[in-house]
Amino acid sequence: MGWNQNTVPKSYVALPAVGRIQAKGPEAAGLHDRILPGRITGTLTFDIVAVDPVRVGSGRPERVGGDKLVPGIVFGPGNQPVIPGSSIKGMLRSLAEALGGGCDTQDCRPPCVVCALFGQISGNRQLMGRIGFGDATPPGKKDVRLSLASTPRGFRPRRPVGRRWYRPVQAPDAKKIQQLAVTPNSRFRGRWQLVNVRPDELGLVLTAAGFDGSFLPRIGGGKYAGLGRVRFEPVEARLRGDYRTGRWTVLSGEDLQQHIDQWRKAWKPPEGANRVLAVLRGKA
């Protein structure tokens, strides 16, 4: 079967829509000038483990095997592969939009619940997000290995076909393009910065990251061809109390997992979100 811009991959499925939910109260104003009680402020450190080959393309060719040039991936300091924070944010924001009643990147005034959390630029209006994502880098020199992944030509529809989600590929079509990727079991370490995030808001993001264990999100290119599934594993949380005391709470191991479970359960799926979860879990 040939691949062209009119061909929808067999693995493609459109996610159901959840109606837009408007942010209310102080969330719509940003909340960066103080630390509020009952909110989560600090950092969460996670490992991102590749389940499939993962490639976040750089737009530049890389030379392999002598003179052969293939599409490359993003490299950081020390010529080590990285997963940019913008890629992590884009993946999680897209899933949070689908699950949490976001605006679906349309004009959003006043901001929806997802824009109020991730940030928003709309005309002259700029709203700083309360959750940020740093680049994910290999914890050690041997934690990431490279290989070539073969994929069909990319899927480029002429018209919108809904928010994209791709199921695992059972019988992929003929492979045509070799691209640089990191191998399964490669490990990256990244950090989320949190400012006055409510437990239910963090629960939404944790659910989008697959922390309930029911699905694996995909990142980077080649999703339609079975690339990109990753697993998030918690490493450490450093949570701040208030400005006056300057105290920090450090969580790891079982204590951190218990907090993650509590935050995740604090999020109550809005109407329609369970249909989205059913698709993500391969049950619809």
- Separation CA 193–CA 202 (nearest Å): 11
- What's the whole-number mean pLDDT along residues 130-152? 91
Average pLDDT over residues 17-38: 76
Kindly report, residue by residue over 150-203, the tens digit of the pLDDT.
Answer: 887 766 655 555 677 888 776 555 567 888 999 999 999 999 999 999 999 999
Q: How far is CA 273 from CA 117, 209, 216, 218, 268, in A?
A: 18, 15, 17, 19, 9
Q: How far apart are CA 222 and CA 204, in angstroms?
A: 26
The answer to whether the Cα torsion of 143, 145, 151, 153 is positive or negative is positive
DSSP-derived secondary structure letter, 27? G
What pLDDT, on the 0 to 100 scale, is given for residue 124? 64
pLDDT on residue 133: 95
Which one is predicted more confidently, 102 or 170? 102
Q: What is the pLDDT of residues 42-53, one digit of tens each?
A: 999 999 999 999
Instruction: Determine contact, residues 188/83, Cβ cutoff 8 Å.
Output: yes
Average pLDDT value for the chain? 85
Q: Taking residues 62-76, report their average pLDDT.
A: 83
**More confident position, 130 or 242:** 130
Q: What is the mean pLDDT of residues 196-225?
A: 94
pTM of the model: 0.89
Domain boundaries, the chain: 21-154+173-267
pLDDT over 70, % of the chain: 85
Q: Is the pLDDT of residue 38 over 60?
A: yes
Report in angstroms the alpha-carbon separations of 96 from 175, 206, 247, 269: 32, 9, 31, 11
User: What does the pLDDT average to over 196-220?
Assistant: 95
pLDDT for the residue 1: 38
Q: Cβ distance 155 to 3 under 8 Å?
A: yes
pLDDT band at residue 218, thresholds of 50, 70 and 90? very high
- Residue 109 pLDDT level (bands cut at 50, 70, 90): confident
Of residues 262, 270, 198, 273, the one with CA closest to residue 27: 198
Q: What would the mean pLDDT of 57-76 be, rounded to a whole number?
A: 84
Which token pair is 266?
A: 């604090």
**Residue 256, SS3 per DSSP:** helix
Question: What distance in Å separates the CA atoms of residue 191 and residue 243, rounded to the nearest whole number?
Answer: 22
